[in-house]
């Protein structure tokens, strides 16, 4: 049921994964990861900033499954950016995860300092095999255009906030035109959009839950998703979205919910690149 997407570097990535932001209790972690695995999730997404790479590593170890059946993502925090910071902190992350490599390494947020140096480290990390694929997170078009002025290879993923409240259609289009897969974090808007009347109406039409129609809307927009839940029944429900389809009209109803509302901070603004910025 879980589709794989082709990345522009030749690797494959599950379209649907499991986000672990804010899960920190080990017992809760073990239960969530086991539940997710049993319901078919193979991609697990963490970050240095979440402070739970060790928890994830411990939980995955208990599953006792082959490494190459998992797809693991982590992200270099803002504090660890720069050439040496990226490489050294990745090695720390790998120790915590108890792995030799990650499948996907992302720059967590664009920052002004070390903008190109961090990416140069990422290109070397990919060459060394410590990450199979490299990408970015929370990059706007301008950040990607700026990166393109010096990058030898471009990110294969841009993981950004996308939900019915923050549909990001222009950014999705830009990523797609540049062979960058969009991966949505907080695809359910951190759960804040589950009682929206329009989405409730679409859910009623389809006989599915609001979470399911939201996740289905993302899939039909061609993007990857990493919903988070600690509850077995919801983890199962969120994976059970491959046996129905939203009509064009229902997709338009879902699109109409957008208010450009972020649940988190804005990426640093373009003018902060100052005179360096070429556009």
- Contacts (Cβ under 8 Å, ≥6 apart) of 27: none
50 is annotated as an active-site residue: yes
- Output the smallest distance, CB 45 to ligand A2P, in A: 10
For 123, the token pair is 């290109």
Which of 190, 201, 205, 268 touches ligand A2P by CB under 6 A? 190
Q: How far is the C-alpha of 157 from the C-alpha of 181, rounded, in Å?
A: 5
User: Of these residues, 4, 21, 41, 50, which one is catalytic?
Assistant: 50
Q: How far is the C-alpha of 61 from the C-alpha of 68, rounded, in Å?
A: 13
Judged by CB under 6 A, does residue 164 bind ligand A2P? no
**String marking each residue 93-132 x if it binds ligand A2P according to CB under 6 A:** ----------------------------------------
Long-range contacts of 237-240 (CB under 8 A, 24+ apart): 237/209, 237/211, 237/212, 238/211, 238/212, 239/1, 239/2, 239/16, 239/39, 239/40, 239/41, 240/1, 240/212
> Length of the chain in residues, anyone?
279
Which of 16, 59, 182, 238 touches ligand A2P by CB under 6 A? 238
Judged by CB under 6 A, does residue 229 bind ligand A2P? yes
Judged by CB under 6 A, does residue 208 bind ligand A2P? no
For 230, the token pair is 């600690």
108 marked as binding residue: yes
Q: CA Rg, the chain, in Å? A: 18
Q: How many residues bind ligand A2P (CB under 6 A)?
A: 18
Judged by CB under 6 A, does residue 261 bind ligand A2P? no
* Binding positions: 108
Write out the residues near ligand A2P by the rule CB under 6 A.
Answer: 19, 186-191, 194, 209, 211, 227-231, 234, 237-238
* Binding positions for substrate: 108
Residues annotated as catalytic (active site), given as ranges = 50
């Amino acid at each position: 049921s879980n589709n794989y997407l082709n990345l522009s570097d030749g690797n494959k990535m599950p379209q649907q994964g499991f986000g672990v932001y804010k899960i920190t209790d080990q017992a809760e972690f073990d239960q969530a990861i086991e539940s997710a695995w049993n319901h078919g999730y193979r991609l697990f997404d963490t970050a240095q900033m979440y402070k739970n790479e060790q928890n994830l590593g411990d939980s995955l170890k208990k599953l006792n499954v082959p490494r190459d059946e998992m797809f693991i993502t982590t992200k270099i925090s803002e504090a660890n950016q720069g050439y040496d910071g990226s490489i050294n902190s990745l090695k720390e992350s790998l120790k915590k995860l108890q792995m030799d490599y990650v499948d996907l390494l992302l720059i967590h947020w664009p920052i002004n300092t070390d903008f190109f140096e961090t990416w140069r480290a990422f290109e070397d990390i990919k060459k060394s095999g410590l990450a199979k694929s490299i990408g970015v997170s929370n990059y706007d078009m301008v950040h990607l255009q700026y990166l393109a002025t010096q990058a030898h290879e471009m990110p294969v993923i841009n993981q950004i906030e996308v939900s019915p409240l923050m549909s990001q259609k222009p950014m999705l289009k830009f990523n797609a035109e540049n062979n960058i897969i969009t991966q949505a974090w907080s695809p359910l808007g951190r759960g804040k959009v589950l009682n929206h009347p329009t989405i409730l109406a679409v859910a009623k039409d389809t006989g599915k839950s609001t979470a399911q129609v939201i996740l289905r809307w993302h899939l039909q927009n061609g993007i990857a998703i990493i919903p988070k839940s600690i509850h077995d029944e919801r983890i199962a429900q969120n994976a059970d979205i491959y046996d129905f389809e939203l009509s064009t009209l229902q997709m338009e109803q879902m699109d109409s919910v957008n208010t450009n509302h972020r649940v988190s901070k804005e990426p640093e603004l373009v003018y902060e690149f100052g005179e360096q910025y070429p556009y």
